[in-house]
Structures are given as structure tokens and as C-alpha cells.
Structure 1
Amino acid sequence: MIFDASAFRSVLLVDARGVRAAHRGGSMAAEANHEVRSAPPRWLRPIGIRLLVLLVLFAMIDGAFAWLNVLAAKNPITGLASGVATAAAALFAYAKVTGWLEQRATPEVALRSLRPQLIRGVAIGAGLFTVTMLLIIICNGYRAGWGSVGDMFATLGLMTGIATCEELLFRGVLFRIVEERAGTVIAVVASSLLFGGLHLINPSATVWGAVAIAIQGGLLSAACFVLTRKLWLPIGFHLGWNFAESGIFGTTVSGSQSTVGGLLHGMTRGPAIISGGEFGPEASIFAVLVGGVAALVMLRIAHKRGKFIDPTW
């Protein structure tokens, strides 16, 4: 699941400035040492404005970092370093900007849950994509030769940055804020449809491919977030799926031409409904079934655990 950075090169810059205030006590020293946390202007507080500001900001971050990571991925060392650095920078920006704008802590990116959930997410994503590929291989829809270990590590860096930035945008901003007002069900549907729809900008995109991404990518990533209320599991899932797709099996990711290859140099063949055609294996009916079933199972578990939020209207 990846969409090209060129679509975000001409986006309006949003500059929001806070106002800092000081406690007034009994002495000048107390006044200098006790400051109230800066708050955003009143016009930034309505949910619609807040959603728009954060969407524009993180779309810009996503587009800029994706462009940088694609350039850096021409070399495995710079590719890996750039991917990790941009992921860390995007997470830092999310914690600071969202925390300031919403005047709250950001437990969804708390570091204490990073390692276990990220590892679990990568395992889920890579595992589900491997199952998808095994089904395609059984149907004679894939062939491969050896690729490059260097390309594999470059792809790992590229997908680390892409997965992190896209999950911050779609689950950390879009899904979470829509859910505040409209509830979990509408947030899942809306974020999944938009996530799939934006992949139509990719060079080899198809309408079916966008629908497939909405189901296996949008639904499953949303389910990961609903189940844990953290961003680490969906980031890990997104990374594991994309890395297995390009970094291991060497196939096209979401119709994009910005991937660099992987351990294998793979090609899909045969009917597009089986292999995914030029869009890549994500447009295969097997990817839709595997990802869709996994998403429904996770959403059912989340619902049973009381993780769903009702609309506030």
C-alpha cells in the first residue's frame, strides 16, 4: 500500500502559532519560572478545523518524506537511514503538534508499547501477504528469479518511512478525529474508502485495485488501531505487508513505480483477478479475501472487547 509523493507537491502550507502565558504570583521570580502550557487559538479548536489542519500538515509531511525516501532508496545504506529518520521525525511531529493542538498526551504513540506491537504488526502483515502469495503461486500467477540483498534493505528503509507517515495520516489523524464525532463504524468506512481512493493516483492504478486496497489495507489497518488504540500495530502491519510484497517477493506495490526491488525479482502473470496484473498482488482476489477476512475477525474481537465508540450526535 503506497501512493506516489508527486500528488502532494502543491499543497497549501498551514502555519499555526500558539500564545504563551505566565502564572502571576507573589514575586517576579515565581512569575518567570511558572508558565502555563501554550494553547492553540480558539479558531483552531473546532473539530472540523482541527481535522483539516492536521490532514494538510501530515499530507505535506507524507509527500515530502516519500519523495526523499524514494531518492535515498537508490542506495541501501542511505535508503535504510532515510526511512528510519523520516519515520522518527514524523512520529515526533505527530506527538508534538497533535498534543499541542488537542491539549492532551498522545498515548497512541507511547514508546512503552512500540516494540511488542510493532513486531506483532510486522509479523501479521508479512504473514498475511505470504499466504496471499502462496495462493497466487498455486494458481501459477507468479514467477521469480534472484534479486538483490541491497535492494531488500533499501526497500525496508523506504517502506519504514512510507508505512509510518501513511498510518499517521490515515489512522492517527483521519480515522481518530472522524471517530470522535461519527463513531467507529463510520470512521472505519470513511478512512478505508479514502485510503483506497488515493491509490488511484498511482501510474498503474485501477478502480478494482483501489477497492482492493480499501478492503485489505484500509479495513485491516483500521482494525489494528481499533483493537489496540495504538498506532504501532497498524504501522507494523503496513510495513510488514509492503516489505514482504516488494522487499521479499519483488513485486509491484499498489501500481506504484517508486519501489526498488527486493530479495527476489518477481513478476505476476495470468489473469489479473488471480495475479493482480500490473497493479501488483494487492489487486488479486486472494489479497482481498485474506486481508478482508483478517480485518473482520479483528474488528469482531475489538467489538467484543468494547473498543467501538458510538457517534456523539
Structure 2
Amino acid sequence: MNVSIKRVLYFPLTKIIIGISIPFSLFVGIQNFVSKPFFYSISEDRSITDPIIHCISFIVLLVSYYYLFRLYDKRKITELSIKFLTKEMLGGFAFGFLTISLSIFILYLLGYYQIISITTAHYSIKLFTLLMVAALIEDLFHRGLIIRECENWLGTNLTIVIGMLVETQHIFNPNANLFSLFYYLVWGFTMAMLFVYTKRIWLPFFFHLGWNFAQPFYGSNLTGLSDMGSIIQSKFNGPELFTGGAVGIENSVFTVTFLLLIGIVLYYLAKKEGKIIKRKQIKI
């Protein structure tokens, strides 16, 4: 292969573009032209078919990413290593869920959160598998690809800034406000650190999943969406700075503070353990 072509092909930005385009195209194509037509022809019950379609889409994303970079980089795909999967799955999910729970508990003590009833009638496996796919798309591409490539190219510190800026795309979510911008920057920082510390996507992914599940679980909006179901039917009544307002509990100053502290602790541990990568030069 021509040296110039090889440099362009293996340039980090090129790899990021290809790494997103191919798996995501396969994900969209198989979901819309294979999975949905097939399962919708079998059953009209979306509560049964959609979770199956979501699970297939989940697998398509992982498999296409894995084999793309096995061929592209000719390396072990360590960011998808399952060596510590059980630990990172259980720990990550619990950590994400408990972080939201702590904010809810503070609101309860302040009298800003009231439980009305508890029922699973307003929640379904379909909503959970949708959250699962949405979290994977973000964590596979943002952390497993963008953070990984940029960290090896630009070093950890600059990559963290990039990871923070990438998350500001969420400012276009429903009901987002100026404080949401700060939250998304903090979210990008901490999620980047979850990957930097482990060099695998599983801890940030399961943290993300636990985080997203906890919000509708407690009856909160999720990133501004009010139609994500609920298990605890509740009432939030207090200053928007505390409750998160229409965005949801993730936009609470309490939640953002806890999230920031998690990121700071992880950065400290990563630095202490020599996991902060210095910048290196790549010529093109």
C-alpha cells in the first residue's frame, strides 16, 4: 500500500469516521430492512417484537465493530474484552443506579420528592432494551472509539476535553437549559474517565445503563423525555436547581456534583496508577 494512502487510512480522524460509519450503517440497515420486516410479519405485538429487535441490533453493533477493527487494526479488541465483564457489569450498573438514588434520597429528605404509588404497569422490557441500545451506541462510539483513538493520539488530558465537548450535542435534547450544558460537560468528563481507567467500554456502558434506568424508575423524566415509563409514580416539588426540572433528576445540582466527584476520583486513581497517556506526535 502506498505510504501516503496508508497514513491517511490510519489517521485517527479517518479511523473514527470509518469506525462509526460502517457499524452504524449495518445497525440501521439490518434493523430496518431485516429485523423489523421479519418480526413485524410474525407478530403485531410490539411489546414482544421490539425487545427482540433491540437485542439483535445490540449484537450487530458489537459484532460489526469487533470485526471491523480486527481487520482494520489487526489487533486484539481490548476495549471489548470480557475478562472483567461480570465485575464491571454489576458494579457499573449499581454505581449508576445508586448515584441517581442518592440524589433522590436527598430530595426526599428535603421534602421535594413524594412517592405516590409503585407499580410495573407503566414500565416494559421494550423501554429497557431501547435504553440498552441507546447507551451502547453512545458508549461504543464516544468512549470505545473516539476516546480510545484520541487518547492514543493526543494524550489523555486533551482527549478528556474532546470527550466533554462531544457530549454537548445533548444540549438539543428536549427542555435542556443553560445548566444542562454544564451537566453534559461533567457527564463527558466522568464517562471519559470511566473508560480511561479501565480501557474497556463495559464500566461506562453499565454505569450509563444503571443511570438511565434509575431515572424513570423513580418517576423522573429522562433527558427531558416524559414518555420513558416509570415504576415509582412520584411527584417532584421544589427548586428546579434541586429537582432538575423538566430535564429530569440528572439535571439536579446534587446529581451533577456527585457525577463530578466520581470523575475527579477516577482521574486521581488513573494518574496514581499510571493510566494517563501523554501526547505523541503523528505525522501525515
TM-score range (shorter-chain normalised) is: 0.7 to 0.9
Aligned to 1:209: 180
Aligned to 1:26: none
2:80 is the alignment partner of 1:109: yes
Supply the RMSD in Å over aligned alpha carbons.
2.8
C-alpha distance 114-175 of structure 1, shift in aligned 2 (>3 A) = same
The alignment's TM-score, normalised by the length of structure 1, stands at: 0.76
Partners of 2:122 and 2:229 within 8 A in 1: no
For residue 265 of structure 1, the aligned residue among 230, 233, 257 is 233
2:139 is the alignment partner of 1:174: no
2:16 is the alignment partner of 1:51: yes
C-alpha distance 138-105 of structure 1, shift in aligned 2 (>3 A) = same
2:177 is the alignment partner of 1:219: no
In the alignment, residue 16 of structure 2 is paired with which amino acid?
L
In the alignment, residue 231 of structure 1 is paired with which amino acid?
I
Q: Secondary structure at the match of 1:111?
A: coil
C-alpha distance 267-97 of structure 1, shift in aligned 2 (>3 A) = farther
Partners of 1:254 and 1:279 within 8 A in 2: yes
C-alpha distance 284-184 of structure 1, shift in aligned 2 (>3 A) = same
Misfit runs of 4+, over 6 Å: 61-69
Aligned to 1:278: 246
Aligned to 1:251: 220
Q: Which runs of 5+ in 1 are unaligned?
A: 1-18, 20-40
**Residue correspondences, number:** 267
Q: Structure 2: how far apart are the matches of 1:276 and 1:66? A: 34
In the alignment, residue 256 of structure 1 is paired with which amino acid?
L
Aligned to 2:209: 239
The alignment's TM-score, normalised by the length of structure 2, stands at: 0.83
Partners of 1:159 and 1:243 within 8 A in 2: yes
Q: Structure 2: how far apart are the matches of 1:65 and 1:211? A: 36
Identity %: 23
Partners of 1:44 and 1:101 within 8 A in 2: no
Aligned to 1:31: none
Aligned to 1:131: 102
Partners of 1:123 and 1:240 within 8 A in 2: yes
Q: Structure 2: how far apart are the matches of 1:214 and 1:77? A: 37
Range with bigger deviation, 117-126 or 261-270: 261-270
For residue 292 of structure 1, the aligned residue among 257, 260, 268 is 260
| 1:53-79 superposed Cα distances (whole Å, 9 cap, x missing partner) | 22444666788899999xx9x954444
Q: Structure 1: how far apart are the matches of 2:240 and 2:24? A: 31
Partners of 1:151 and 1:263 within 8 A in 2: yes
Q: Structure 2: how far apart are the matches of 1:219 and 1:133? A: 22
Q: Structure 1: how far apart are the matches of 2:183 and 2:95? A: 18
Partners of 2:165 and 2:188 within 8 A in 1: yes
Q: Structure 2: how far apart are the matches of 1:126 and 1:139? A: 20
| 1:229-256 superposed Cα distances (whole Å, 9 cap, x missing partner) | 111111110001101112x112111123
In the alignment, residue 214 of structure 1 is paired with which amino acid?
L
What is the deviation of 1:138? 2.1
Q: Structure 1: how far apart are the matches of 2:169 and 2:28? A: 12
Partners of 2:147 and 2:159 within 8 A in 1: yes
What is the deviation of 1:49? 1.5
